[in-house]
Amino acid sequence: MATATDGFKLQGDTREASTKNAARRVRAAGKIPATVYGAGKPSLSVSLDPKLVNQILRSASGHNTIFDLALDGENAKAMIVDWQKDPIKGHLLHVDLKRIAMDKRMRVSVPIVLAGVPQGVKTEGGILEQMVREIELECLPADIPSSITVDVTALGFGQVLRVKDLPHGGKLHFITEEETPVAHVTHIKEVAEAAPAEEVAAATPAEPEVIKKGKQETEGAAPAAEKGDKKK
């Protein structure tokens, strides 16, 4: 089980308090503005190299990656807890970093990876459906896995894989309810079903309303003609 510590190092440079103009100047200089907080220390406004931040976000452990942050001559462990991107160009606009105490447990969300082809798919004609793709857990920072991989080859038709069945090695405490279904082997759903006779009947177009009105007006014209004849 690979952990989320991949040896990344970030250099943070302090900057003036976060304002829109200050953030624009940071971006114009080829950096991205960021805020660092946590570990009982005051929050700081810093600038970071966007290439290194993107490398961390695209790594196997993504935003759960714990890296070394060099700031004001000190080194601290940190991780990315939030980030903003330009909705059109996709460029990073801002990042929030949190200092990490390596001796304190923390909560994170980790992806679930299903490995292998289930028996129920191989020999029983079923399909594998995954209902939960991430699990919330608690552990020490050094034990955060990049993902939780579970072998589903023994999963038969109608069987359900639950949170309690996921491997944890004794170091992980699952926060997600243990009976929560993660995946199961089920039947292949039909793409389309025949519509009930009532629906077909309801779908039959009715006689246009204008034709009905025309008939009523034609029928109602006779009495008017009769009144005219009486006056004569």
Cα–Cα distance measured from residue 99 to residue 37, given in angstroms and rounded to the nearest whole number: 6
Residue 223 above 90 pLDDT? Answer: no
pLDDT digits (tens, 9 = 90+) for 51-99: 999 999 999 889 899 999 998 888 899 999 999 999 998 899 999 999 9
Q: Side by side, which strands form the sheet with 160-162?
A: 127-130, 181-186, 160-162
Residue 99, classed as helix, strand or coil, is strand
Q: Where in the chain is the domain with CATH 2.40.240.10?
A: 5-101
pTM confidence score:
0.68
Q: pLDDT category, 39, cuts 50, 70, 90?
A: confident
Burial label for 223, CB within 10 Å (0-12, 13-18, 19+), is exposed
Question: For position 188, what pLDDT does the model report?
Answer: 76
Higher pLDDT residue, 40 or 185?
185
Q: Where in the chain is the domain with CATH 2.170.120.20?
A: 102-220
5-101: which CATH topology? Answer: Ribosomal Protein L25; Chain P (2.40.240)
Residue 153 above 60 pLDDT? Answer: yes
Instruction: Tell me which CATH homologous superfamily contains domain 102-220.
Output: Ribosomal protein L25, C-terminal domain (2.170.120.20)
Q: pLDDT category, 205, cuts 50, 70, 90?
A: low
Mean pLDDT of the chain: 82
